[in-house]
């Protein structure tokens, strides 16, 4: 498979391969989800059932090429369902292959893997309204796990449930602390991180108690095309293009580890098909740490915009100081390593936003909503 050619060192993979025929991707119209769906259809032979509620950050325009190339008029390998992971009846039907794609007469094939990405994911929004995060990120996971438990009781078969999580569940690091390993305590500091940690704990419990075939991945900060412009990199790009102030929290020295979305989705598939259930968790990181302020300055340089656009705003409540991921497990046991150089990946990302203004301008007001509530309304434009 292409995934192996591009992401795996020869001889590094251990254990038997798992080869699903149909994958249910939740949240497949979001940033990481749409990139994963596209990557799967371009690099594997699987059929993809894409379940997305199409909340503010889910956008079918991000899948325009997928619908054209792999929908009913193309290869026929992509099935789209507008729905909620908290809808137990819908989840049961999708897992069992008892549903028809809305708007078509195509029967949806029975799933033998779930790649779970559907989530509320923006820390700022979780500060403004934690309840929706708990509902989606905890209750939603519970609904999926219960649905899978029932399905495998009725129709036992080889299966994988990959729970795509975040390094934010580990909390915050000091400047000289070692990077987060998979055995690091869960110490979430935001409602978003706490809700993801709650979902992670449910996945672990269902694997240990009921024997469900579950693996969790925890990634560092992603960047790349189709990212909703409320997140740091597209927020700064889109505001700089409008010569608007760029808000930087606190002193700007909070450090993040950046991972290109293409490297992330390749790793998720590798974990699904080659990961060991006994490993339980795999960290996925880009291995490139940079303070937020330095990143913003890089973006301004690429866009040829003045540094005077930077505005410091009061620090975010519960703001984690530093994230860094220890990725030795996935590197040594599965042979994965990131392919994208950060500098080149960032340049290509800036180019994508320059060339796709229509995509992000349509959602700009909603993208800035939480930012306006927290700080944008209080700084000059």
pLDDT in tens, the chain (381 residues): 333 333 444 345 555 699 999 999 999 999 999 999 999 999 999 999 999 999 988 889 999 999 999 999 999 999 999 999 999 999 999 999 999 999 999 999 999 999 999 999 889 899 999 999 999 999 999 999 999 999 999 999 999 999 999 999 999 999 999 999 999 999 999 999 999 999 999 999 999 999 999 999 999 999 999 999 999 999 999 999 999 999 999 999 999 999 999 999 999 999 999 999 999 999 999 999 999 999 999 999 999 999 999 999 999 899 999 999 999 999 999 999 999 999 999 999 999 999 999 999 988 777 666 666 666 666 755
- Provide Rg for the chain, Cα atoms: 20
Chain-centroid distance of CA 363 in Å reads 19
CA-to-CA separations, 371 to 59, 248, 368, in angstroms, rounded: 20, 11, 5
Q: Which of 123, 121, 166, 177 lies closest to 322, judged by CA?
A: 177
Strand partners, 113: 23, 160
In the annotation, is 167 catalytic? Answer: yes
3-class DSSP assignment, residue 61: helix
Helices (H), 291-368: 292-303, 328-334, 342-355, 357-361, 364-367
In the annotation, is 168 catalytic? Answer: yes
Q: Which of 165, 167, 122 lies closest to 140, judged by CA?
A: 165
Distance CA 135, CA 63 (A): 26
Do the strands 255-260 and 289-291 form a parallel or antiparallel pair, or are they unpaired? antiparallel
Q: Catalytic one among 84, 124, 151, 168? A: 168
DSSP 27: T
Do the strands 310-313 and 281-284 form a parallel or antiparallel pair, or are they unpaired? unpaired
pTM of the model as a whole: 0.93
Neighbours of 331 (CB within 10 A): 17
Distance CA 35, CA 232 (A): 18
Q: Catalytic one among 93, 120, 124, 167? A: 167
Residue 198, both tokens: 């709650």
Residue 348, both tokens: 């290509």
In the annotation, is 192 catalytic? Answer: yes
Q: Catalytic one among 170, 192, 323, 375? A: 192
């Amino acid at each position: 498979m292409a995934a192996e050619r591009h992401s795996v060192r020869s001889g590094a993979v251990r254990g038997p391969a798992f080869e699903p025929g149909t994958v249910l991707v939740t949240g497949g119209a979001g940033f990481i989800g749409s990139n994963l769906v596209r990557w799967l259809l371009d690099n594997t032979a699987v059929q993809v059932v894409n379940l997305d509620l199409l909340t503010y950050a889910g956008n079918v325009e991000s899948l325009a090429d997928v619908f054209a190339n792999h929908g009913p008029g193309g290869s026929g390998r992509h099935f789209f369902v507008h729905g909620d992971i908290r809808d137990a009846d819908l989840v049961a039907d999708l897992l069992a292959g008892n549903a028809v794609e809305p708007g078509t007469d195509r029967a949806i094939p029975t799933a033998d893997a779930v790649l779970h990405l559907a989530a509320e994911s923006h820390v700022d929004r979780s500060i403004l309204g934690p309840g929706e995060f708990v509902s989606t990120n905890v209750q939603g996971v519970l609904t999926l796990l219960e649905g899978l438990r029932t399905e495998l009781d009725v129709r036992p078969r080889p299966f994988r449930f990959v729970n795509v999580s975040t390094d934010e569940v580990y909390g915050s690091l000091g400047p000289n602390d070692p990077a987060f390993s998979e055995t690091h305590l869960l110490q979430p500091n935001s409602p978003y991180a706490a809700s993801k940690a709650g979902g992670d704990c449910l996945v672990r419990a269902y694997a240990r108690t009921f024997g469900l075939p579950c693996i969790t991945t925890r990634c560092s900060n992603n960047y790349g095309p189709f990212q909703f412009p409320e997140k740091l990199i597209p927020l700064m790009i889109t505001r700089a293009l409008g010569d608007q102030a760029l808000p930087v929290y606190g002193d700007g020295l909070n450090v993040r580890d950046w991972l290109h979305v293409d490297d992330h989705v390749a790793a998720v598939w590798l974990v699904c098909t080659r990961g060991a259930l006994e490993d339980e968790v795999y960290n996925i990181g880009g291995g490139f740490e940079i303070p937020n302020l330095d990143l913003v300055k890089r973006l301004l340089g690429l866009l040829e915009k003045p540094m005077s656009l930077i505005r410091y705003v009061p620090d975010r409540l519960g703001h984690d100081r530093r994230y860094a991921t220890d990725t030795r497990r996935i590197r040594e046991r599965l042979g994965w390593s990131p392919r994208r150089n950060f500098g080149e990946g960032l340049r290509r990302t800036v180019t994508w936003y320059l060339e796709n203004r229509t995509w992000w301008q349509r959602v700009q007001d909603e993208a800035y909503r939480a930012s306006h509530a927290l700080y944008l309304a209080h700084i000059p434009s």
